[in-house]
Structure 1
Amino acid sequence: MSSSPHASPHAETLHRQLTDFMQEHVYPAEVEVAAWQNNPQTRWQPCPRIEALKALAKEAGLWNLFLPDPVHGAGLSNRDYAPMAELMGRVLWASEVFNCNAPDTGNMEVLAHFGNDSQKAEWLAPLLRGEIRSAFAMTEPDVASSDATNIALGITADGDDYVLNGRKWWITGAGDPRCAILIVMGVTDPEADKHARHSMVLVPMATPGVRVVRALEAFGFDDAPSGHMELEFRNVRVPKSSLIGSQGSGFALAQARLGPGRIHHCMRLIGLAQRALELMIERAKSRVAFGKPLGAQGMAQEMIALSHCEIAQARLLTLNAAAMLDAGGNKAAKNEIGMIKIVAPRMALQVIDRAIQLFGAEGLQHPFLPHAWAGARCLRLADGPDEVHIAALARGLLK
């Protein structure tokens, strides 16, 4: 897609540059990156081709585009950045090339908005430079984490330190050898109101007592080298200066972190779906069945037309949510953000599934479609399952 006419001139320029960069550098690298990531001997190490592309992107000024802060980022609004997130979403690893990949983006925003000067110097600065990676440790195996007030990992004060005990899982990025820092959410005030019990603390991955239990797979994919890890925290000791914001503010920080991140996720999903549609169209033109191209079959035509409509609907809904977020913040855009979190993953899943069906048996072995489908399916759970957003949206409307 082209950037909207409502975008700022600066955003229009960056969008054109990003489009050209994707065409010239990212798409041609897909085969080489796939070979690296599929090789058991290399797949858990950073890919040299991606690292080289990051240097080119930084040199081109296509770096930290997600960050509204014009000092450290591109100074773009959520509305301006959204079409760029869509472009990056067309390739599963492309966001990292521009230092715009989750969960680092959300962690950088938390540190930028709520971190103190020392935390910014130690952790935000190298993240902004792309020198290290990070992870966000919130979800737990033993509680229903869709209700964030259930989060139970203990963060106990002990003199000048906090001591952490508990387990986390589906911690994206924690398998990357460059992952240097975790933002961990846990209970500091068990007797407080349920929305004031939790805090966030910074825990270096190298801290004694932090253990990677295992890498988790989703539909057979482990997303190396970032991975989705199960972590154990056993008597993990960090200084109280590791606290982000104030004690008891963890729930509020989590909500602040998730607003822009959901825009990013949804736009990347739209990029995935758009690319799946383009692959579907190419296949329909070139594949012959029963004496004519698939594109001449009514069922294939319906798949293509409906997919185009559904992508356009989700895109407009997400751009509207981004504009609402810019105008009034998370609270004002709550319903709009909830809607896109419900609509975009379901839309992407349906479009990608149609593409797999149109490719037939080849769709099951396609280098893009199965991984794209798995990613979209995971996002019906990540950042809150559909059911939570549906219930919250209904409550908002009923009020």
Structure 2
Amino acid sequence: MSNIWAVVFGGPSPEHEISILTGLQSERVLLDAGDTVLPLYWAPAGGFFLVPNKTEAKDYLEGVPKGSKAIDVRLGENAGLFIKKRFGEDELSPEAALLCLHGGVGEGGGAAALFSLLGIPATGSSLFAGAVGMDKLAFGGLMATAGIPSLPREPLSQLSEPSFGGPYIVKPRFGGSSIGIEIVDDIAAARAIGKASTHLRAGAVLEPYRPELVDLNISFRTAPTLEVTQLEKPLRGNSESGLYSYAEKYLAGEAGADAGLTSAPREFPADVPETVADRAAELARRVADATGLTGIVRVDLLLDEASGELYVNEVNSIPGAMSLYLWAPQRPAAEVLRDALVEARDKPFTLPAGGFGSGAALRAAGGIAGKLVGLDGPRG
């Protein structure tokens, strides 16, 4: 009997389209391996839909694909995913859900919380680990606390001055690794662009601009055991900034469904000294240990080729194409996805269940009205 998995993609995020590509790719991998797949599309406006199997990217150009069925997402005592029929309803009951959501509330822990409330095990780490991974300031602070080398990272503040001088890279505090990034000379320019940019208004972080640093990527997975891939070196374009841009990351490469995901320009394995590759693998394991991230994760690194210094830059708890291209020399794609789903199903993240205690606090509380005395503000 084949496994029954859900593959969840889309979502309200600037990376919505890339999430669709990752979801469709993952669905095909699992279908080709003989599993049953329920493709769940999260539309930008918030609705969930069960879409037909084997849809193509073009089917989403006008919105929800033809033949899709609206899903009733139900919380409460009878939580679950339901599809209404003419007479009654059908409940969708996957063994686990593969979250292919990039950026936004999906990758940031919101989907983990939702599926936990629905009672459906899901990949993509816990709410808490996912939120730290999406918050660049919190992630930088965690790296510093764990003693993992990273560049200085501070909030863009209208009140206090940064502890390091410009030029600066200004990044959205909450978001992906390549959208909304700006390079400025000084703090005044950073503050001005922080107010003007739609990507930065919700919060931004500052880092020193180091154009000599080289991008490197590595992936780890946590099931059946902690394992890392070889090191990848994305090849930057000829932009004046030298930054690895969104277009290069997701839209470059050969035309077709794989463009920017599995065929973007890259050097793989990266042509670096063995000491650098070993150090990258060590840092990836340390990131896994410090963050508590599970499933399939990509760690983005920065290398100073002159000194050999290596820094952890960011982490992607739900990486593009699920980093399957990084795993290809070591593990079949279906094995990587299945192992993540089995981990979610058999080893779910759980906290102590809520519930009533002895009632001592409630009995001792007295009347609530008495506790409101003095809370109505100052008296003249």
- Please report the TM-score for the alignment, with normalisation by the length of structure 2: 0.29
TM, length-normalised to structure 1: 0.28
Bigger helix fraction: 1
| Bigger radius of gyration | 2
